[in-house]
Structures are given as structure tokens and as C-alpha cells.
A and B are shown apart, each in its own frame.
Chain A
């Protein structure tokens, strides 16, 4: 039986197990929307296509499944570009379907025509323009395969209107055959042995884990290796949740895991940065030596031999030369290493490791993460601490970008993978709210909180309506400092306090705004109001926007000025 392109589209999505599409209709995709009611798929109607892309991204990060969005041609397509680039930088599996003008009109500057395949070439893992309905099923099959395998990433499929309208026999390919795409997943055993030889003799090892640990679900293997080696662990922003920052004592009290160093880099902890700068073996696991991690690159981990596992060979020795490269899946590589460690446990490990762990303990005690509670204003760090205290253990936290993001990374102690969704690579303001909505769609019963700033929340605030419409009870905690805080902090420190264009004294009344959207608005202006507001928000089954009036001049510390070595931290 012949099916139309639109019908084939839904049959393919069914085969891929897609349950939800984030989308916004328009002329070029009307045939798909016309067909949609005949299929048991959930559609989340967004208010802006950028929101659709971030929602699919948040859904994908929270679940590990491929996020899907569907938008029309022209502006519908270009509006997804920031969302696609965000997903690309952070290796998020996503398939974006864009409408396109009919094939005879392509290149004619037709109404709502744009070369979206050309535009997104550098920010997708791969992309396709489907010119023949006979290619449609194969292309969709390949798109999903590419999105979720190897180093995951967004794939865009451009669908001209006439292709969607024409018909053909539907056959879903059983296998994918891409001659130029064979990612190396199984690590080279010889390299694993070399890594083990080095780790075995290390006196001051540090495990430096990135988003790869989350993506490959290697958190258990990482914990196991860290414990077997008694090696301290730091993670990147993307790696938070890949190692349990705190453990529960029998009394129920949560204390820092003794091997946990905290995040490293520009706003890393004192002990994490000092440990990296003084370690003799640095073991990078699914991390990519981003400039926000390394600081001045020639001075990064100067005493260390470096081992690096990554599924993407281009990440290895890109910024920092590596002594032992291992191309492959983090989880598989760590499993192989754990087998070796268990076969041949290190003798007198406690004794061997004591001086190093003791040094780290001293660093932690000398400069713990801290802020001063002074006056009767709310400190933003206090809000994050309270969120951590009151949120359930399986809560999903999203952030916007800037100070709110860094305070969350510092003061919320993540213990589980896929509980922090944040735009790490691209640094996209406006990511947090739609990402939270995407996560809430996947997990309707979990607490999902967007930690936001008063600046970034306004970049995709229209998605409040999506949350309310679809009964998605996300909680938004705005750390309202009436500034574009992180930029202001740079101006304060490096631009002679010239606060040009960073003051946001004119913002909407967020409580009234929440009300206007049909959500709940709450406000706290004093420290003692923080906890009651959070308690009320967390016990409400509706979207809640919390407006915390925090100290406008608070900065994020420690801070490594750009271009400095990461041991050169400005402390409070």
C-alpha cells in the first residue's frame, strides 16, 4: 500500500519509539499537521521555535532518548538554530524536522524559503534535504541513528512540501549503512593497559570527568574506579551528577563525598583547581579540555601525565597534548579498567594515597566554597542552598546562563546523572525554561526547577504559556539582581566598573506576569521568606515563578580571570 510522505513521517517516528514532538505549525508542514491526529503521538505546541528546540534538548538530556521537534520553513527553521547549536556543543541527541518550500521553488527566493541545510551545516552532526519521497524513510532512519550513536548530536531533516505530499511504498530499512560513519566504541585494550600502568603508579591522581560520563551512563563505573584507586574526582559543568557530590550518613545528614573535589575551571572550587595543577596523573573521561576548564592552556596540569578517553577522536589532543589517548565509549573503557584494578588491587593504597588526600582536605578547609550572609538582603547562593536542601533527590535542575548557572553548579550538590540540564558549551541564555518544560514532559511527576536570572528568563519567557497550557508544573526560581549579573561582574573586575548596558532596573513584575500567564507567582525579598516560598512552590501542582530579590552586587567566586592559570583564583 502506498503512503504519503506525511504518513511515512509518522510511521518512521513510531518505529523509532518517538512519543512526543515539540513543534509549531506553518504552511510548509501543514500536511504533516493534517495527518497528526491520526497517530498516537503527543504534540507540545510551543510559543516560539527556539523553545521547541530547547524543549527537545531538555527532554533528550533528561531521558537519554532522542528529542524531536517539528517546525515550518523559513523563520520557523531559523528560529531553531540557537537550539540546534546549543545541542551540538553539548552532544545532545536530537532530530529537527523543518518544512521546506516545494522542490520546484527551491532557490527561487520563495515565500518563507531559507537554505536551512546550508545554515545549519556547521552546527549539526549531519543534515539532509529530502528531495524524493522514496528516500524519506531511509533518511529518517539514518537521522535517528546518527543522532544517538557515537558522539550524539542534533541532526536536521529538511522536508519540501511536495515530498511530504507525494506517495510511495513504505519500507523502513532494517539496518543503517553509512560507509563514512563507523564510530569506535570499543576501546583499544593495549591503551587500557597503558592507562592502568600509569594509574597504578600515580601518587597524586585526579579523575576529571565530563559530559561523556553522563551520556554513556558511566557514573557507576566512575564511582567504582575512584573508590578502587582512592582517586579524587572533579567534573566539568557538563559532568555534574556523574559523581555523587554528597553521601548520606546513617543519621540522614548529607556530607560531601570524601573524594569529591567539586567542579573545576573558571568558577571551580579552590581544591579542584589546586588538585589539577598539582596532580601527577590526570585522567580525563569524556571531557574536552574546554577553555573555561583549562584557563591558560600552557599552564594547565603542568605536572601531569594525561590519559584521555573520548568517543570523538577530534576531542583528543585538540587543546592539550595527551600522553595516553583512548578512543571509545567511556563506560566500556572504565569497565575494562575496573576489571584490571580488581584483578590487581594496589597494595597499601591507604598509605600510598594519604598524603595526597590529606593535602586536598587542607585545601578544602582553607578555602571552602563560601559566601557571607550580611545585611538583610537575600544572597543568591543561599537560595540555591535552600533549593538543594528542600528539593527531592530525583529533582531535575535546569539553569539559564551566567551567575545563576555558576551558583547552581557550586551550591547544588548533584548526586545523580541527568539531573542537571544546562547549556555548557554554547552558553545559551533562555535555555533553562524550555529545557525544564521538556524534562517535565518526560517526567511529569518529578520536581523540575529552572534556576534563572532576571535577564535570561526573559529570553524565552513566552514558554510560560506552553507550561501552563500543557499542565507542566515547572518551578522557576529567578535570582533577581536587577542586573545582567555575570557581565556586570566582568565589568566590575576587568572593565573599570563601567556598567554599560548591564543594568536591568526595568523588568516586569514577575509575580503579576506569572499570574497573567495563569501560573503562580511568589516573591521573597528577605532571607526568612526564601524557605516558605520554596516550600509553597514545591507543593503546588502548577507552574510557579518565584521572584527572589537577591543582593545585586554579589559575584561568583572563586574566579579565574580569562587567560590566567587555574591556580590563580580570585577568592571572595
Chain B
């Protein structure tokens, strides 16, 4: 009956919150105070005025995840928690990557950008800044390829996720 807390796999959780001062701190404080992990966290307003959606990625076994979801639900400013464990969902992340682009590597960078359906959003004599959107695997893949050329800086948004609409 015991419950240890080994590092489990990654899980994505959506949290619909009231857009009140301090709400992000309540969510973040819950994780730090109870020893849960946050791998990434995004937050922005939704289409409904006064509501924001937080998407966070955490690690833990089923038991820890269960506690996280219950604890999130217990926060007064939390309207709804989306547990994606048994649901089909889409998740996307955006990354801005500043990569070294000298005379001899520019073409290769642009080829990679093309393959990944990414975009060059800033150009300077020695650097390109690239915008890429995708799931975890895609972001990892482009980072790996561009890494061989020379990445200077990366800014990632963290994941945003929504459940897939029912097909029937």
C-alpha cells in the first residue's frame, strides 16, 4: 500500500484559471511547495474574458499525477483541470532559434528551415533567427540539426495543448 515517488513519465495538464492577480503564483507555489516538478509552463488569455489557460508539463507516476490534479482543482481560482491522460490531444510548442549563418552555412540553414516548415524572422550579416512550431520531437530534431551549425540562443514557449474534438 505504500507510495513512493519515483520519477515517472511526462504528462501535460491544462488548467483553466480566473485571470486574477497571483493566480500563476498559486499554481507555481503549489508545485514547489509539494515537491512536484514543472518541466514547462505556458499561460495566456483565452477567448473568454477573465479566463486564462495554463498548460503545464510535469513528471510523476500515476499517483503523483492524481494528487497534482486534485490539488490544482482545490485552488479557488482554478475553474477546470484538463487531464490529458486518457484523451487524444494536440500539443504544440514554438521556438525562436538564433543560429550562426556565415557565407558557407547560410544555404544549409535555409534548407533545414524549409524541411521543417520553419520561418526566418530576423536576418543579420552573421545570424538568422528562426521561428519553428511543432511537437516535442520536431523541436528537438531541428535543434539537433542547427546545433551542428552553431546555435547562439534559444527561446522556447513551452507547450500549449488542447484536447482533440470528438470525431463523431
Contact = CB atoms under 8 A, between A and B. Distances in A.
B1 to A, nearest CB: 5
A444 interface: no
B131 interface: no
B63 interface: yes
Contact of A180 (B2, B25, B79): B79
Contacts of A125: 76
Given A121-B26, A178-B76, A297 B1 contact: yes
A355 interface: no
Interface stretch (A216-224, A309-317, A526-534): A309-317
Nearest to A314: B70
A310 to B, nearest CB: 11
A179 B2 contact: no
Given A121-B29, A179-B79, A314-B67, A321 B74 contact: no
A508 interface: no
Interface in A371-392: none
Contacts of A297: 1-3
Given A179-B79, A180-B77, A117 B3 contact: no
B21 interface: yes
A122 B1 contact: no
A146 to B, nearest CB: 7
A298 interface: yes
A121 B22 contact: yes
Contact of A298 (B1, B22, B73): B1
Interface in B1-44: 1-3, 17-18, 21-22, 25-26, 29, 33
B76 to A, nearest CB: 4
A38 B78 CA distance: 39
- Residues of B contacting A: mostly: mixed
Given A117-B22, A121-B22, A321 B3 contact: yes
B19 to A, nearest CB: 12
A181 B76 CA distance: 5
Contacts of A146: 76
Sort chain A's interface into a size bin.
20 to 34
B71 A314 contact: yes
A146 B26 CA distance: 16
A179 B48 CA distance: 14
Nearest to A146: B76
A295 to B, nearest CB: 12
A535 interface: no
A98 to B, nearest CB: 15
B3 A179 contact: no
A569 interface: no
A181 B73 CA distance: 9
Nearest to B75: A180
B75 to A, nearest CB: 7
Contact of B78 (A122, A180, A317, A320): A180
A214 B134 CA distance: 53
Contacts of A314: 67, 70-71, 74
Interface in A265-324: 297-298, 300-302, 312-314, 317-321
B29 A129 contact: no
A179 B17 CA distance: 10
B76 A298 contact: no
Contact of A129 (B21, B67, B76, B78): B21
Interface of A: 117-118, 121-122, 125-126, 129, 146, 178-181, 297-298, 300-302, 312-314, 317-321
Give 9 nearest A-B pairs by CB, closest first: A298-B2, A314-B70, A126-B76, A180-B79, A180-B78, A122-B33, A313-B70, A179-B79, A181-B76
